């Protein structure tokens, strides 16, 4: 059976980046072995899916990510967020870093652990 490279690459990128589905889930959909999906991913330089949000939602509720982000926008402290979800302040910090790792619009000032919206000035 001849495999259309472009079609496979497109499906993998779409499902991994927007899914996020892991190799086993993709293998089930494509009716191949998970090692085949892994090999294709490596061949097309596609990183594995980041399943953090999926696992967080499963453990803390379907709307948990949105609630966490809303609390950040409302300038809740890390301790307040941790108390709301029932985990530690350190884990709240880790979740914040994971959710906002590529964002330059929200930064956390050192004083009192509050978050503020701020646009960083771009240097030339």
Number of domains in the chain: 2
Does 110 lie in the same domain as 60? yes
- Report if residue 75 sits inside a domain: yes
Instruction: Please check whether residue 57 is in contact with residue 66, taking contact to mean a CB–CB distance below 8 angstroms.
Output: no
Closest CA to 37 of 57, 55, 56, 19: 19
User: What is the separation of C-alpha 84 from the centre of its chain, rounded to a whole number of angstroms?
Assistant: 21
Does 75 lie in the same domain as 39? no
Instruction: Please check whether residue 51 is in contact with residue 22, taking contact to mean a CB–CB distance below 8 angstroms.
Output: yes
Does 39 lie in the same domain as 59? no
Local confidence pLDDT in tens for the 124 residues of the chain: 566 888 888 888 888 877 778 888 888 988 999 999 999 989 989 888 778 888 898 999 999 999 999 999 998 999 999 999 999 999 999 999 998 887 665 655 444 555 555 544 445 4
- Report if residue 122 sits inside a domain: no
* pLDDT the model gives residue 108: 57
Phi-psi region of 3 (alpha: psi -120 to 50; beta: other; left: phi over 0): beta
Distances (CA, A) of 2 to 7, 8, 72: 12, 11, 50
CATH code of the domain containing 72: 1.10.10
- Domain span at residue 76 reads 52-117
């Amino acid at each position: 059976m001849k495999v259309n490279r472009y079609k496979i690459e497109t499906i993998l990128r779409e499902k991994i980046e927007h899914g996020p589905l892991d190799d086993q889930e993709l293998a089930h959909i494509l009716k191949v072995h998970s090692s085949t999906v892994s090999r294709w991913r490596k061949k097309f330089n596609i990183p594995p899916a980041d399943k953090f949000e999926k696992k967080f939602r499963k453990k803390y509720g379907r709307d948990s990510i949105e609630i966490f982000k809303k609390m950040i926008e409302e300038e809740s402290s890390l301790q307040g967020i941790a108390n709301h979800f029932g985990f530690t302040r350190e884990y709240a910090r880790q979740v914040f870093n994971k959710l906002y790792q590529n964002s330059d619009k929200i930064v956390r000032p050192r004083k009192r652990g509050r978050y503020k919206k701020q646009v960083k000035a771009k240097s030339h």
